[in-house]
Amino acid sequence: MTDYQAVLDRVIDHIEALRFQGKVANYIPALAEQPLGQFSIAIQTTDGQSYYAGDMSARFTVQSVSKVMTLTMALQRYGDELWQRVGKEPSGTAFNSLTQLEFENGVPRNPFINAGAIVTCDALYSRLGAPIHTMLEHYRAQSGNDKVKINKRVAQSEFEHRYRNAAMAYLMKSFGNFNNEVEEVLWSYFNYCAIELDSLELAKTFSYLSNQGYCQQSKQQLLSAKQTKQLNSLLFTSGLYDAAGDFAYRVGMPGKSGVSGAIIAVLPNEFTVAVCSPGLDKVGNSVAGIAALEFLSEELGTAIF
Ligand code: GLN
């Protein structure tokens, strides 16, 4: 049997020199307060075991990792119809790029860049009575912690600095690919990004991705096995924005990152791993987080290939 705990303990030694590298995101003022150097990692296996190492008292906002949950909930309600409004191709541009929307009639390249997540939020908004509350309840049930909260200061700070995301939403609206009030949908999007977890809660929340769509904490079949395979495939090609190829090369697993320094990665039928360390590289991905996942996949000798 794999000794996951021993491997995670070795991860901590491995990243020691890296955790102060990179820069904390500062384009959202409330995010800039996260301490550089923080690091935690957790594994939730499909047979229900949890392993973790590092600073487990650290709580962080999920940021773009929320895009995976948004997509999951939209796929539950729309199935393949959703792909009329958002594409499945890698973007090759930054997560907050606007340019591609203009040339492709307001249809974002994929659901993991900001424009794609925002249009997915719009679709979800049309079907959810209380979008923010419903989303929060999912995180509470799936993480196994019914006290999970939204960091309101981060949500508010993002809303106050929303201009670029608002520009994307209005541009999509001009092309007829947006159905609700832009400001209301953005408010829900920022609240989703500002949900606060620790690493183990994050691994548990997304454990369904390694478990054929079934979440053991909430006891829900969130997606079918086929949809889970499809979602993991999209994460592999697009989960790390314009660094998806580099991540695939180094780590060999589907993954999703966020500007808080959070990253999840999935080894189907084995485990979901979550890591958080706020120092980001130029693309907006955690330096120590990627190094930790690369080391983990080498140590375990496991990748999807
Ligand atoms: N809330 C962030 C934004 O909209 C999420 C971006 C990210 O994590 N890459 O800019």
Letter string b/e over residues 21-51, b meaning 16 or more CB atoms within 10 A of that residue's CB: bbebbeebebbeebebebbbbbbbbbeeeeb
The token pair that represents 100 in the structure block: 């591609």
Q: Which letter does DSSP use for residue 286 in this model?
A: B
- Using a pLDDT cut of 70, give the percent of the chain over it: 100
Q: Could you tell me if the CB of 193 is within 6 A of ligand 1?
A: yes
Please give the pLDDT value at position 29: 86
| Statement: residue 225 has pLDDT above 90 | yes
What ipTM did this prediction achieve? 0.95
Please give the pLDDT value at position 40: 98
Q: Could you tell me if the CB of 96 is within 6 A of ligand 1?
A: yes
**Where is 109: in which H helix or E strand?**
none
Q: Which letter does DSSP use for residue 89 in this model?
A: S
Strands of 68-224 (E only): list them. 149-150, 195-197, 214-215, 220-221
154 in Cβ contact with 61 (< 8 Å)? yes
Among all chains, which residue has been given the structure tokens 């079907």?
Answer: 127
**Where is 17: in which H helix or E strand?**
none
The token pair that represents 225 in the structure block: 């096995």
| Statement: residue 221 has pLDDT above 80 | yes
* Distance between Cα 93 and ligand 1 center (Å): 14
Q: What is the mean pLDDT of the chain?
A: 96
* Distance between Cα 14 and ligand 1 center (Å): 28
Residue 126: count of CB within 10 angstroms of its CB: 14
| Statement: residue 159 has pLDDT above 80 | yes
Residue of 65, 190, 78 whose CA lies nearest to 127: 78
Q: What are the pLDDT digits (tens) for 60-100?
A: 999 999 999 999 999 999 999 999 999 999 988 888 888 89
The token pair that represents 184 in the structure block: 């209301």
Q: Whose CA is nearest to atom 4 of ligand 1?
A: 114
Q: Whose CA is nearest to atom 6 of ligand 1?
A: 64
Asked whether the CA dihedral 127, 90, 283, 265 is positive or negative, the reply is positive
**Where is 133: in which H helix or E strand?**
helix 131-143
Q: What are the pLDDT digits (tens) for 92-142?
A: 888 888 889 999 999 999 999 999 999 999 999 999 989 999 999 999 999
* Distance between Cα 19 and ligand 1 center (Å): 21
Report the nearest atom of ligand 1 relative to the CA of 63: 8
Q: What are the pLDDT digits (tens) for 256-281?
A: 999 999 999 999 999 999 999 999 99
* Distance between Cα 259 and ligand 1 center (Å): 6
Binding-site residues, in ranges, read 64, 114, 158, 165, 189, 241, 259
* Distance between Cα 258 and ligand 1 center (Å): 6
Angle at 22 between CA 17 and CA 24, to 5 degrees: 120
Report the nearest atom of ligand 1 relative to the CA of 65: 8
289 in Cβ contact with 275 (< 8 Å)? yes
Residue of 7, 11, 49, 6 whose CA lies nearest to 275: 11
Please give the pLDDT value at position 27: 86
| Statement: residue 177 has pLDDT above 80 | yes
Q: Could you tell me if the CB of 64 is within 6 A of ligand 1?
A: yes
Q: Could you tell me if the CB of 45 is within 6 A of ligand 1?
A: no
Domain 4-300, CATH class in plain words:
alpha beta
Scanning 225-286, the segments in alpha helix (DSSP H) are: 225-238, 244-251
36 in Cβ contact with 81 (< 8 Å)? no
Please give the pLDDT value at position 281: 95
